[in-house]
Amino acid sequence: MTNFSDIDQQTDICSLLENTRQFNNNDNTTTLIATNDDKTTQNMYRRTSSTEGTTTNNNNISIPKKYQLSTSCVIVLLSIVLISLGALATMLDSFMFHQKDTNRCRESYMRPLYLKQDGFDSEMTRFAGKYALYLYREKGVDLSEQPTGIPVLFIPGHAGSYKQIRSIAAESSYYYYQNYARNIETWDQGMRNLDFFTVDFNEEFSALHGQSLLEQAEYLNDAIDYILKLYPLSRKWGPQQNKQLPDPTSVIILGHSMGGTVARTMFTLHNYQPGSINTVITLSTPHLLPPAPFDWKISKIYDDIHSFWKRGYEIRHDQRQQQQQQQQQHEQHTTISSVLDANDILKDVTLISIAGGNLDSMICSDSANVGTFLPSNHGFTVFSTAIPGVWTGADHISILSCNQLVKVVSKTLLNIVDARRGSQTKPFEERIKVMEKAFLSGLEDRRGDGSDLDLGEITFHDLKPNQSRFLLPGQRLILDQSDKDGQKGMVFLPVYEGADALAMLTSYPMDKQLGHFDLLLCNKLETHIKGTTRMGCRAVTDSIVVPVPASTSQNIDLSSGNTFMFASITFEEMQGYEFLSVVDRRGNGDFGSGGFLIVEPYDFDTNTRVIEKSMTDIALNGIQIDINPALFSTVRIPAIESSMLAFHMNINNPQCSSVHFSPLLRQSISSMHESKFYVNIADGQQQIDMSVHGRTAFSTASTPIRLHHTYRHQQHRHRDTPIEDNARGLDINIWMDPSCNQPIQLEMTVDWYGSFGRIGFRNGIMLPTFAFIVVMVVWVTQIRCYFSTGIYPHFGQGLVYCLRRTLPIISVILISACVYQGWTDEEAYELLDDTRLFGQWWKRYVPESFSYNKEIKSSMSVIWGDVLAGRTDPFFWWLPMFGLVMSIGVVCALWLITSLFIRICAHMVSLFIRYYPIACYRPKSTTKSIHQQKEQHHHHYSGMGDGGQLWFLPDIYDNDSDRQRMERRIITTLILFSLVATCIPYQFVFLVAFLVHIITCVRSLRKRWIAAPSQELDRNNRYHYLQSILLLFITLLPFNAPILMVWIRNLSVHWFVPFSSDHSVLAIAPFMIYIEMLTNQKLMLPRMLSRIWSWITYCLFYIVVLYAFMYGIKYTHSLYFLSNGLIGWLLLLHFWNSSYGQQLYLSFMDLIYHYSFSKKKS
């Protein structure tokens, strides 16, 4: 693909072979003598310079002391390498085998049938040849092959299959036909079966390529249009009841992994039909950050959809009216209309994000949080460990087949449909209530003022003395198999001043069909029957009772499926009522089952403990606390919000002879609906591995989820603290049998080994970014030495200099920036408003009409959450520095491995030439004219050497003129440019250039081995320089390989349409041209003796380093383009040092001279 130069034409091939043999036979000695032309060139090229007391000449050359590799430096480098590699191995082991939940998912079974929709062809979408649409049918259950129910569209994720919908689709079919199909009442309410459509993306790598993601979104919008057009005809041939239904206008979306991101992207495209999507459920979807930010377009897509969704929900009613008035006045028309469109499109959309937790090793569940752009009344993020009846984590693939979760999702989808409406779903408010009831635990979403309690109709009870019992204030109620006197009666617990709420826990079911108990809010009324007590009550069971996992000696883990029922209600919620009544409906056969019911009043200040410790104090000393015996207690730790730390919790529970249940523990976090239950923690001393998911890097902190009533009650007592700060952090809820009067001891410590894997998983992109920075810093150090002394040190010597001088300065600046970033209260640094550093001098140079609006202000500001490693917990100020040290070790290891690989390749080539010599002959004329020698010297000194295409052949096989070789090079380069612009992505050419440069390095090393003493310095400089460029290629390879994988994948499925985002000639031209030039065996970076050119070069390198530190982790793709620009600058240095550059400079100066002379003359 690339045009390559011939090897050096001054060296006779036979002499080269003879000297190669002699070099291999003699121990590290060479007898090759340079030709007269080479001697002349060397003498003219070399210069004598003195820097820091070091003299450079033709024969006596030494490296400056600061670059020399001493024994101590070697030990330090090897230590850093071993520490870095050991840290990587430790992170991998920690991430794979420590702090992992137990996967308790049960398998799902199905009999799938996929019907391809051939009618969705190229006339309806331009991607018909690339993707395909299928309709799922469960064999033996779905008898019709025509869609007559409610349309649901499944979107697979990165490398996902359209067949992954089979578990949810099969469960939905079975549940519908077993519970609703023959129920006339539900049919009249709009209940219908679900038609699951699924898309075959040919397992495309959508997480790696933004253009593929956009193509999928566009195809899906076309698919929705096609699906909706099927129903007017199919329903006419279906059951009689379907003929009266309206035509569907929307589709329910179910997206897995990157399919959820594609679903959100669909709303932003030109072919989206408003109202065609109103419900989106995503599974393990990275909503906040792309999992692999190596493609510039996928990063832009994430920024665009985040801005679109956030803008759509930020508009308030008064703002909308004001904008409509401005629109009428034709001001800011474009911006306002786009904002209004976003709001109109998303106003009825619900989005539910389900995450699998720490079992998901492909997508960080922190990134599944939708709270940063979605208001809580439009959706939420919930973990599978928090969903009632599921209570288990799921990995990235099994979240689609986990039977416990599949049942909940299938039932919820059926419960939100209403075929009587054109949207095919229930109204917005009803959908949200159904999803909250299904997916949320009920322990964290109460308002606390009673306004959200759904009370039953008022009932009146005339109770005889033997039918009721009134407890005293503070008295505990325990009903079990020994308490037969309380059966079929009512027990009343009063509201009083000494407590704040009532808590209840029972092992009996409390539903309407099988419920043994019922909870009522009651008031004592005036009696009309003598000898009775009249009570007026309203049922409250359905509003406050939630299931929790059963915790007994028989339920050793969460997989048993047994549940307890828990309820809590504050006296503030009971405002207007005097009693909470427990209605006992147990029969005689229920007393031998070992069941129980316990109701106990509790006080927030007594039963809620707040640990006011900093994260540093917790990391160093841990937490020790004693929990007094109570039915329900809470420990809140506001400092624990980060997901990068894992913890060990040791629980010392004293043995009690008679208890109704074993202690039960639940952890939860404030930023998302994440809960984990730990059952049966009663057997002596037990250790729990505990970890949380919280705020991720590069995202704004989402407000806490709707607060539990305990926080709102405490807020009245701590008015100085904002309610969000009062509710942040980790919550630990503990249920204990109050019959045991001994406290539980909790000891919480940081699990550093388990935390190591979580830190690496969440900051993995830091390693390639900082490795690029290290290579850049060392490279500019090598160039500085070369410009000043004429010696280009090898990479290890440059790294030693950086460890002595450059990196300590960088470390101090980096640590200071990280500390300030973590502790400052400012969200951004406003450059134009800074009066301390920059002042307001810039206002003098702008016109008075300059509008200093919000857009300009934001573009000139540094948002602290977007720089460095993101704004997380201030405790992790050391994290970027730790990543830098690891990157130094990894880069040093890469340098050693690369050097060893090149040496092995060079030895293999030497052995091949030695044992299989090429038959050679001498040309007719071995002497060159004086004109040719001058021409050769001119090319060598100018740095514009000729390589040619046939670089791999001996010199004797190429007798073309320089002009012909230049013409071939230009033609080949133009062909490559045309291929990149039409059909080949530039990443492929980058890979080819990388392989070509490896061969160039091998040839350069062989030249260095057989070089004459007069050539030794130039050969060393050139080889070290090529090696630096090779290391740059290695660090940039991860940024280009993913796109290349997508392109190869498209070729495998016979999709040859080029990417619109990866065919920029300018994105590869500097690399391609420079690597082509370096195939010339004498080309070397020109030594710039001018301070201006030298300092410009240094500044450009350090600007790249500064940008990489600030934005390289979030916008990793930008590092490649910055490197491309630097290579372009090196090309400019070559051109400026060539005869063409000198002629251009003289012409420019002559033009200035004539212009000045003519001006003076006039």
Q: Which residues are catalytic?
A: 257
Instruction: Please state the separation of Cα 302 from the chain's center in Å.
Output: 11
Pairing of strands 251-256, 277-283: parallel
3-state secondary structure 1049-1110: HHHHCCCCCCCCCCCCHHHCHHHHHHHHHHCCCCCCCCCCCCHHHHHHHHHHHHHHHHHHHH
Closest CA to 1085 of 1011, 1036, 1009, 1026: 1026
Containing 114, the helix (H) or strand (E) segment is strand 112-116
3-state secondary structure 167-229: HHHHHHHHHHHHHCCCCHHHHHCCCCCEEEEEEECCCCCCCCCHHHHHHHHHHHHHHHHHHHH
Calpha distance 48→1151 (Å, rounded): 34
CA atoms 290, 296, 302, 307: torsion sign = positive
CB count in 10 Å sphere of residue 90: 14
Contact 1011, 30 (CB under 8 A): yes
Q: How far apart are the first and last CA of the chain?
A: 57
Is residue 471 helix, strand or coil? coil
Give the list of residues 6+ apart from residue 530 with CB closer than 8 angstroms, or none.
Answer: none
Inter-helix orientation angle 210-234/258-266, to 10°:
70
Contact 400, 337 (CB under 8 A): no
Calpha distance 720→697 (Å, rounded): 29
Contact 943, 1139 (CB under 8 A): no
Alpha helices in 836-959 (DSSP H): 854-859, 879-915, 930-942
Contact 291, 266 (CB under 8 A): no
Q: Residue 825 has which token pair?
A: 């209260």
Calpha distance 997→1072 (Å, rounded): 10
Pairing of strands 596-602, 477-480: antiparallel
Inter-helix orientation angle 1139-1161/930-942, to 10°:
80
Closest CA to 962 of 928, 1009, 1008, 995: 928
Closest CA to 783 of 798, 770, 805, 802: 798
Calpha distance 1026→952 (Å, rounded): 18
Q: Residue 557 has which token pair?
A: 């883990």
Q: How far from 1053 is each of 119, 133, 576, 1056, CA to CA, in Å?
A: 21, 16, 69, 9
Q: Residue 1082 has which token pair?
A: 């004498």
Pairing of strands 608-610, 632-637: parallel
Closest CA to 238 of 170, 169, 143: 143
Residue 773 — φ and ψ, nearest 5°? Answer: -60, -45
Contact 404, 385 (CB under 8 A): no
Closest CA to 564 of 635, 502, 631: 631
DSSP notation for 716-771? TT-TTS-HHHHH-SEEEEEE--TTS-SPEEEEEEE-HHHHHHHHHHHTTTHHHHHH
3-state secondary structure 982-1009: HCCCHHHHHHHHHHHHHHHHHHHHHHHH
